[in-house]
Amino acid sequence: MGYAEDKRLHDTIDLIGLRAQATTVGFIQMAIELHRAGVLNEEALDRIKCAIKQQILLTAPKSVPLERFRENLTRRLDRLFAGEEELGEARADVLRPDAPSTAAP
């Protein structure tokens, strides 16, 4: 695409409100559907999850032991890609089970 087409696509995406979270939800849902349809095998899904995990681990909070963060992240990604967990905002109590809950009562 040229600049004009790129800019038009950018503006359209911005206009409808697509942001990182919306893109992530769409990507995960697409991976789930492709896996269910047999287009993506388990190994491909694992490579996708690994790539995501590696990027997230680069910004892991210093207040959480890295191994604990990695285990919780792996578990959460596995559940997301299996369609077993709702896609949405991660709370501190999800990634750090010892943290006080921020969920509404």
Whether 94 has a pLDDT exceeding 50, the answer reads no
Whether 68 has a pLDDT exceeding 70, the answer reads yes
Sorted by where each begins, the domain ranges of the chain are 3-86
3-class secondary-structure state, position 84: coil
Summarize pLDDT for 7-65 with one digit per residue, the tens.
Answer: 887 788 777 776 788 888 889 999 999 999 999 999 999 999 999 999 889 888 999 99
Residue 36 CA from chain centroid, whole number: 18
pLDDT band at residue 104 using 50, 70 and 90 as cut-offs: very low
Is pTM beyond 0.85? Reply is no
Whether 100 has a pLDDT exceeding 80, the answer reads no
Residue 62 and residue 40 in contact, taking contact as beta carbons nearer than 8 Å: no
Q: Tell me which residue of 76, 70, 27 sits closest to 48, measured CA to CA.
A: 27
